[in-house]
Structures are given as structure tokens and as C-alpha cells.
Amino acid sequence: MSMQQPTMEEAPASAASPLTLLQLAFTAALATAALAFAVAAARYNRRYRGLHLPPGPPGWPIVGNLFQVAFSGKLFIHYIRDLRREYGPILTLRMGERTLVIISSAEAAHEALVEKGAEFASRPRENTTRNIFSSNKFTVNSAVYGPEWRSLRRNMVSGMLSASRLREFRPARARAMDRFVSRIRAEADASRDGASVWVLRNARFAVFCILLDMTFGLLDLDEAHIERVDAVMKRVLLAVGVRMDDYLPFLKPFFWRHQRQALAVRREQVDTLLPLINRRRAILRDIRGGGGASPAPDPSVAAPFSYLDSLLDLRVDGRHTSPTDDELVTLCAELINGGTDTTATAIEWGMARIVDNPTIQARLHEEISRHVGDARPVEDRDTDAMPYLQAFVKELLRKHPPTYFSLTHAAVGHGSKVAGYDVPADANLDIFLPAISEDPKLWERPGEFDPERFLSGGEAADMTGSAGIRMIPFGAGRRICPGLAMGTTHIALMVARMVQAFEWSKHPSQPPIDFKDKVEFTVVMDRPLLAAVKPRSLAF
């Protein structure tokens, strides 16, 4: 007896066709997206209703100016330069659910960071990925303004970056500088012409060695080990880059793969740094367990002090326990990553200026020879007595700040204003640095690179901004970078050692020096600097 198959009209409801299911799924997705858009629009309108925001380009519903920026065909810094000409020194960009208030005048920056420093001393909310690497904002740079931030910053300054502590780390700098000069010499000797050196790569490794030494105090790490740690730290920087879902959170489900990759990199970071932390713990345990007078650590294995030492038993206001292992990794990584690329980038720009202008190099070498001679390597204590070198460093940071925006600020509460405009509590307050350090109202010949502007009787350069803002490569006010003294010390010392040990010139295979920039983690040269070096005659 044959069975007749039901027709489509007779089929039961549970047997819906694949096409029908696809239509339903598509309709549901559209409805969900429309609801998310509507909720986001209502939230934005409710947050900013009645506020007098700075002017800015009109945006689209929900996404604001996000796509205008993304598809402008320009780097963000160049896009801001164009907007500044149209809208003035304080403007608003709405990037999805984030609102950016961008300041580009010395007066407004001084008002926000110095005069109203307590009002704008906080940080905005982080995206999910950054929260992973900051241990939920448990770092000096990312912490919300309050007791926790004060504890972390106070410890970093006293335990690492004060003038007395920086002096204690002179052996670390000396070791790294000797290795640095040797690497440059070896790279030049191994090159086909016997003179070629890639500046940024070598400078970055040298700074990384200094900071790794200062952070963990472990002196027996070989270059292969250091390079493995460095490679992991580079992957961390790549993992925390900005993505579209940072601005449009409802897109987060589509970025699940990136989230999984970020977690894997974080695990790798912990697995790489935690053994160094545990090694230092063991060294300190041996020292403290000796009874009586604590013996000094083996000078070939461990330094007498490291930044980590100050963190192991740190008491943070508002918490009852010391930092966890994951938090220790975060705090150590903050110091290393925060100081490595910023300093290395400055060195590359500085050597480009030296190669481009032999007169500057001759002036620097003459000053180094007069103060130190060629019988011993220049030390950081020598550089304090070299006015032209110090002027060179100031001009370098004026013309080539490592980043074009200071770390983002946020209002502590509601009702804050800058230049008469409202700044919402959840907005990002960004300072566009080049517009200040190249302002013709503040500087003579701002487009020229001229260290002599800072010599006796010349222009002033208070990099703290406390006496009036003219250049703030390290920020200003309560959240000024605590590494200002360390950064300038490292730049001056590295430039001095490079000029003392080698004569630098443009590589014959390269076109004229191009000072075009591009943005990576820091602002780097668009075309990396390949230079030619000739060793000088030295007695050491």
C-alpha cells in the first residue's frame, strides 16, 4: 500500500523550509540591530541633553563621526589638524558611543590639566581587552583618580623614579650602554659595507635592557632570553589596539576571535614574566632569611634593588591584600612597555636630526670631548653638565614628541567645563600636543629644529607645564608621566654614548632624510633610519 507524501501546503509547521528559517534569522538580526541602534541613540541623547559641547563636524545617527574618520583617507592626527582649522582649538568628535573632546591650545590645556587638575585627573572607561592587560585598571596610568591610584603612583615614584632611586640604577644603565655600543659595532662590522646600522631596532633593545634590569634586578639574562621577553611584550602592544567594537559595543560578539587571541597573549605574558618575578622572590627570600645583617645578593646574578621589590608587599589604600601575581605582572609590564618605545622612538628621531645636520653632531661631540674626553665612557651624571646636549633633548621632545596625544583624561564628576564648554564625565579629554609645541604664538620659527633656542638667554622649556604650557611631551598636572626624569636621562645618555663612540652619517644607499611620520604604538619615522657609522678613536 503506497503512502502519499504531503504537499508543501499540507506539511506540518515543524518542518519549515531552510529558506524560511534563514528569513526568520535575518529578520531577527535586523530587529536586534535596530533595537541596539535605538537604545544607543536614546542613551546618547539622554546623556548629553542640555549640555554645551565644543563645536565639531555633524555626525551620523548612532555612529557619529566614526565612519567619517575611518574613511577620510587620512591619519587621525592629520584629520585633527584639518578640523582644528575649521572648528578651533577645542572641538568634539562623537565616535560611536564615545565622545572625544580634543584640546589643541596651550591656554585650554593649562586650564584643564593645571588650573582644574583635580577635576580632570581621572581616566575614561577601558575596553574589554585593555581591562585584561591592565588587571581592571590596576596600573598607574589607567587607574581611576582616587586612593588606589595615589598608592600606585606614590610607590612608583619613591620605589623607582625619584632622583635618589635613579642614581641607584646607574649600574643598570652602564651595563645596557656597553651592550648597546657593542651591538652597534657588531651590526656595522657584519654588514656588507661594514658601516650599516638600523637605529630604532638597536635603540629599542638597549632601552628594553635597562628597564628589564631596573624592574626585576636579574643580571644574568642572556640576549636570547631578553629577546624572547621583548617579543612577548611587543605582542601585548599589538593586542591592545583600538577596534570598531571599542566605539560600538553592540558589535562585540563579532570580535570574539580577537578577544580569544587577547586572552592567549595575556596568558603568554604572565607565563613569561611570572618566572622572573619568582626568581626575584627567591633571591629576596634568601637574603632576608640569612639572619643578622642581610647579605648582599651575588652581584653577577642580582642587583641590590629592583622596582619589583617595592611591589611584592605593597599595601594599596582601600585593599587588604598585596597585589596578586597577575597584578604584579601588570605593574611590571606597565613600566617596561611605558618606557621602551617612547624613548627608542625619540632616539631614532634624534639620530635622524644628527645625520641630517652634521653641525649638530660636531657641537655635541665637542661638548662631550670637553667634559669627558676619550678615556672613559660618558655617564648620565656627566650629561647634566652639558647644556647643548640638554638643549638638544628639549628640542627633540618639542619637535618629535613620542606620542601626539597625551594619555586620555576624564572628568572626575559632572559639571566640568573647559574654555566655557561642558565636558561630560564619560567623555575622553585628549590633548593634541603638536599644535601646542608648534604654535607660532608661543615659539619663534616653530617649524625649525634648533637646539640653540634653549641655550642661555633663549626660549624657556618647562616640560612640566606648571609655569605655563608651551610643550608637554609627558603631559602635565596631576597625571603627568612620572617617568619624565627617567626618560630625559635615558635619551641624553644614549645620544651622548652614540656620538662619543661613532661618527654618524647618512647611508649612501638611502635617499635624503625624510621626516615624514606615521603612528604605531608611538610616532615613528615613516621610513626607518638606516645610518652609516664610523668608530671613533677611544682609549676604552
Name residue 532's beta-bridge partners.
196, 505
Q: Which residue has the cell 626624569?
A: 485
For 289, half-sphere exposure in the C-beta direction (CA atoms, 13 angstrom radius) is 6
C-alpha–C-alpha distance, residues 40 and 46, integer Å: 10
Q: Residue 424 in contact with residue 463, Cβ under 8 Å?
A: no
> Does 209 carry a binding-site annotation?
no
Of 377, 373, 391, the closest CA to residue 492 belongs to 391
The single-letter DSSP state of residue 96 is T
The single-letter DSSP state of residue 466 is T
C-alpha–C-alpha distance, residues 155 and 487, integer Å: 18
Q: Report the amino acid identity of residue 10.
A: E
Q: Are strands 98-103 and 90-95 parallel, antiparallel or unpaired?
A: antiparallel
Taking residue 182's Cβ as centre, other Cβ atoms within 10 Å add up to 11
Helices and strands of the chain, counted as H and E runs? 19, 10
3-state DSSP: the chain helix, strand, coil percent, rounded to 5?
A: 55, 10, 40
Q: Residue 332 in contact with residue 216, Cβ under 8 Å?
A: yes
The set of cell numbers assigned to 65 is: 563621526
The single-letter DSSP state of residue 253 is G
Between the alpha carbon of residue 492 and those of residues 357, 366, 540, the distances in Å are 18, 15, 20
Q: Angle 474-479-480 (CA atoms, 0-180°, nearest 5)?
A: 25
The set of cell numbers assigned to 399 is: 619637535
Of 414, 435, 444, the closest CA to residue 426 belongs to 414
C-alpha–C-alpha distance, residues 95 and 244, integer Å: 10
Q: How many residues does the chain have?
A: 540
Taking residue 534's Cβ as centre, other Cβ atoms within 10 Å add up to 11
Q: Report the amino acid identity of residue 55.
A: P
Q: Which helix (H) or strand (E) holds 167?
A: helix 163-168
The set of cell numbers assigned to 253 is: 560578539
Tell me the Cα Rg of the chain: 27
Helix (H, G, I), strand (E, B) or coil at 81: helix
- Which residues define the annotated binding site? 481
- Which residues define the annotated binding site for heme? 481
